[in-house]
Amino acid sequence: MVPVKDRLGKVSAVLGAQWGDEGKGKLVDIMAEEYDIIARATGGANAGHTVYVQDKKYVFHLLPSGALHKHAVCVIGNGCVVHLPTLLEELDILEKGGIPIDKRIFISNRVHLVFDYHIAIDGAQEAQKGDSKIGTTKRGIGPCYNDKISRKGIRGCDFLNREIFEKKLKENSEQARKQYGFEYDVEKEIAYYRGIRSRIEPMIIDTFEYLHNALENGKTILFEGANGVMLDVDHGTYPFVTSSNPMVGGLGTGTGIPNRHMNSVIGIMKAYLTRVGAGPFPTELTDEVGNSLREKGGEYGATTGRPRRCGWFDAVVARYSARLNGYTDINLTKLDVLTGFPKLKIGIKYKYDGKELSSFPADLDVVSKCEVEYIEMPGWTADISNAKKLDDLPKEARDYVKKLEELIGVKITFIGVGQRRDQMISN
C-alpha cells in the first residue's frame, strides 16, 4: 500500500461529515503513524474519539487520537475549549499505558479554559429549557464559548499569570453564581489549579508560531476535526448544533494555519446515519430496523453514553457537507454493520410542498416537513470484516459503495469494515 501521506499530501485534515460520531478517531490513528504533528482546532470535551488498539479501547475527549503514537506531537489549537482536569485524566491514561507525554502535548496560549461554573451553567440552562432542550453533553462547552464571544473568557496565557488567572476566575464564577443561584466554592477550585500548575504550564505555548515553524521546516501535519459538519454553528441544524465551526474553515481559524496549506480534506461518513440529542433527522428510523442498527453498531455516545438515533444514509446531507468542505476523499465507516439487512435504503432527495429542494434547508420547520425520496438496494449476508481490498467485498456491498460515491460526487478512498485499525480498506 502506498504511504498515506504520499497519496494525501504533507498537510491533511480529517473532518466529521455528518452529525458527529462518524469514526474520525480510527482514520486519524491510522494516518498518525506517518505524520509528525496531530492538531485539534475546535470543540472541547464534548467530542468523544474512540480508537481500538489490539482490541483495547481508548476514548479521548480532548487529546487528538494520534496521542497513542509516541513519535507524534499533539497540539490543542486556539479554537478549542479545554477543561484541564479532563485533559490530565487522559494524560494519566497514556502514562499508565507506557506512552510518554513529555514535550509531546502542547496547548495554545490562546485557548479558552472550561471551569466548573461553565458546567454548572450548562446543566442549569438545559433544565430551564425543559422539553425544548438541545441535548448538550453538559460539559460546559457552550457557556465557555459564550464567555469567549462576550470577551470575558479565561485563556491559556491567563493561566500563566497566576494573579490575573485567579482574579478572573473569581469574577466570572461570582457573576455566574449570582445569575443562576448555584452554590460554588471558587477557593476550592483555585486551590486545585495551584496544585496542577507545575504540570500544565510547560504545555502552554504559542501554537501558532510552533505550527508555522514546523511547516517551514518540512514537518507534516494532520488536522483532526471534532463533532461533525452538520453541528456547525453557522451551517448546521441551528440551534441544535455545537458552539464552534467543526468544518474546514474552522481549522484555519482554530489553529492559525491558512487553508491553502491543506493538501487533502477527508470527510468521514458512516454507511448509515446517526445523531445524538435533539434536532431534525430526515432519514431517522424509529422502528426495529433503527434499533437493529443501534445494537449492531454499538451506537451509544462515547461522551454521554446516550443511545444514538439511527437512520438510512442521507445523500442530501452528504452532498451539502461535501460542498461546504471541498472534500478530496471520503472515508466510509461501519460498512460491516449493514451486513445482514436484506434491503438498504438511501435518501436521495428532499421534497417540500411538492417541490424538490436543491440543498439542505436552513429553516428547521421546512426540514421537519420534508418528504424524503429513497432508492432501495439489495443487502448482503457475507461477513466482510476480514476484507482487505474492494474486490473482497460481495457485489452488493461494492454496488452500495459505488452508488454512494456517485451521489456524493467524491471518491470513497477508505472503507471501514470493523472497529480495529487493521479493518480498513484502502480503495
Per residue of the chain (427 residues), what is the pLDDT tens digit? Answer: 456 666 677 999 999 999 999 999 889 989 999 999 999 999 988 766 677 666 677 788 899 888 889 999 999 999 999 999 999 999 998 898 888 899 999 999 999 999 999 999 988 887 776 666 555 667 899 999 999 999 999 999 999 999 999 999 999 999 999 998 888 899 999 999 999 999 999 999 999 999 999 999 999 999 999 999 999 999 999 999 999 999 999 999 999 999 999 999 999 999 999 999 899 999 999 999 999 999 999 998 766 778 999 999 999 999 999 999 999 999 999 999 999 999 999 999 999 999 999 899 999 999 999 999 999 999 999 999 999 999 999 999 999 999 999 999 999 999 999 998 899 999 8
Q: Phi-psi region for residue 49, left (φ > 0), alpha (ψ -120 to 50) or beta?
A: beta
Same domain? 189 vs 321: no
pLDDT at 344 (0 to 100): 98
Same domain? 198 vs 288: no
CA distances from 193 to 53, 82, 148, 159, 201 (A): 33, 13, 20, 9, 11
83 in catalytic set: no
Same domain? 290 vs 425: yes
Long-range contacts of 91-99 (CB under 8 A, 24+ apart): 91/63, 93/58, 94/63, 94/67, 94/68, 99/67, 99/68, 99/70
pLDDT at 163 (0 to 100): 97
Which stretches of 130-185 are DSSP H helices? 141-149, 156-159, 162-180
Same domain? 276 vs 384: yes
**Residue 87 — φ and ψ, nearest 5°?**
-60, -45
CATH of residue 120: 1.10.300.10
Same domain? 313 vs 415: yes
pLDDT at 272 (0 to 100): 98
Same domain? 337 vs 424: yes
Same domain? 333 vs 416: yes
Residue 323 lies inside a defined structural domain of this protein: yes
Which of 148, 175, 203 terminates a domain? The answer is 203
pLDDT at 375 (0 to 100): 98
pLDDT at 182 (0 to 100): 86
Residue 413 lies inside a defined structural domain of this protein: yes
> Using the 8-state DSSP alphabet, how is residue 229 labeled?
G
Say which of 21, 29, 158, 336 is annotated catalytic.
21
Residue 107 lies inside a defined structural domain of this protein: no
Residue 282 lies inside a defined structural domain of this protein: yes
Same domain? 194 vs 277: no
Amino acid at 182: F
| CA terminus-to-terminus distance, the chain | 10
Same domain? 284 vs 172: no
When divided into structural domains, the chain yields a total of: 2
69 in catalytic set: no
Which of 153, 188, 203 terminates a domain? The answer is 203
Which of 203, 228, 245 terminates a domain? The answer is 203
pLDDT at 136 (0 to 100): 62
Residue 9 lies inside a defined structural domain of this protein: no
Angle between helices 186-200 and 162-180 (to 10 degrees): 140
Same domain? 334 vs 416: yes
Say which of 29, 49, 122, 147 is annotated catalytic.
49
In 206-342, at which residue ranges do the beta strands (DSSP E only) sit? 221-224, 264-270, 273-275, 309-311, 313-314, 329-333
Residue 74 lies inside a defined structural domain of this protein: no
- Domain coverage including residue 387: 269-427
Query: What is the rounded distance in angstroms from the CA atom of residue 169 to the CA atom of residue 186?
Result: 8
Same domain? 281 vs 423: yes
Query: What is the rounded distance in angstroms from the CA atom of residue 143 to the CA atom of residue 183?
Result: 17
pLDDT at 303 (0 to 100): 65
CATH of residue 369: 3.90.170.10
Query: What is the rounded distance in angstroms from the CA atom of residue 425 to the CA atom of residue 50?
Result: 19
pLDDT at 296 (0 to 100): 96
CA distances from 263 to 8, 134, 227, 236, 289 (A): 7, 36, 22, 25, 39
Give this prediction's pTM. Answer: 0.92
Residue 381 lies inside a defined structural domain of this protein: yes
Residue 15 lies inside a defined structural domain of this protein: no
pLDDT at 352 (0 to 100): 97
Same domain? 323 vs 188: no
CA-angle at 14, arms to 407 and 306, nearest 5°: 85
**Residue 38 — φ and ψ, nearest 5°?**
-115, 125
